[in-house]
Amino acid sequence: MQPLKILIVEDEILIGETIKIYLRERGHIPMDIVISYEEALQAISLSLPDVVLVDIRLFGEKSGIDLAEVIQNQYAQLPIVFLTSQYDVRVSNKALELNPSGYLVKPIQKESLWTTVELAYNKKINQNTSPSIKFADGTKVFYLSANQIKYISSDHIYIVLHTTNSGEITLRMSLTEVESLLEKASFIRCHRSYIVNKSYITQYDTHSFVIDQLNIPISRSHKSEVKKLMLETD
């Protein structure tokens, strides 16, 4: 298997160093060990790993579960493997509700670590059949696949990504900037304020598309492009 870049989020340094050794034995590339929610998010924003190992208990006020929720919202394609020595059923159930890509109980066994990490990576890759699109406005970065985006709306200097699993994501970008990132085969600009994902259109006429029971207008300047889409779809 190809070497994987793996972030270790673990506040017990000895355990983190042991995991590092095990990963190197397998030929993977462990990143620096981080011990808190804040350090983990900073590390991910600087260099996106292939897999994140997250201890449920972390240094500071926020837990590994808090971290996992943010990762799932902002980096939907990033596999998460929970590490825990906890036998608290409530905590374990809360972690499992997030549907992580893997789960390891301490003390970590190297063979279990290797298998879990590699399965987590392969599972996530197989789930994301379309390539990730990077949306960045200088302060925030989000990675989404095309099939996670229903439509995009514009409000002055901001755009809103309306997604399937992360709610609404607001970024300081222009719709023209966003349009340049998208595949023409999947999306269509139908208005100065809207881009829609063709897969989520449930109804249309010459004046509007319907997505999630919302009428999205088709402007006069985009009618010819939309008409072409209608003919291709039909």
Whether residues 36 and 110 share a domain: the answer is yes
Q: Which residues contact 36 (CB under 8 A, 6 or more apart)?
A: 11, 58, 59, 60, 62
For residue 128, what pLDDT is reported?
Answer: 54
Q: Which two tokens stand for residue 123?
A: 């599972």
Whether residues 102 and 213 share a domain: the answer is no
Question: Where is the domain boundary, 127, 153, 170?
Answer: 127
Q: Which long-range contacts (CB under 8 A, 24 or more apart) does 221-226 make?
A: 221/192, 222/189, 222/190, 222/191, 225/188, 225/189, 225/190, 226/188, 226/190
Structural domain boundaries, residue 36: 5-127
For residue 227, what pLDDT is reported?
Answer: 76
CATH number, domain containing residue 175: 2.40.50.1020
Phi, psi for residue 232 in degrees, rounded to 5: -65, -40
Whether residues 106 and 146 share a domain: the answer is no
pTM of the predicted protein model: 0.55
How far is it, in rounded angstroms, from Cα 32 to Cα 13? 11
How far is it, in rounded angstroms, from Cα 175 to Cα 152? 8
- In the chain, the number of structural domains is 2
Q: Is 129 helix (H, G, I), strand (E, B) or coil?
A: coil
Q: What is the mean pLDDT of each run of 10 residues along the chain (234 residues)?
A: 91 94 96 92 91 89 88 84 72 70 87 89 66 84 86 93 86 93 86 91 84 90 79 54
For residue 156, what pLDDT is reported?
Answer: 85
Question: Where is the domain boundary, 83, 102, 127?
Answer: 127
Whether residues 174 and 189 share a domain: the answer is yes
Q: What are the residues facing 151 on neighbouring strands?
A: 162, 196
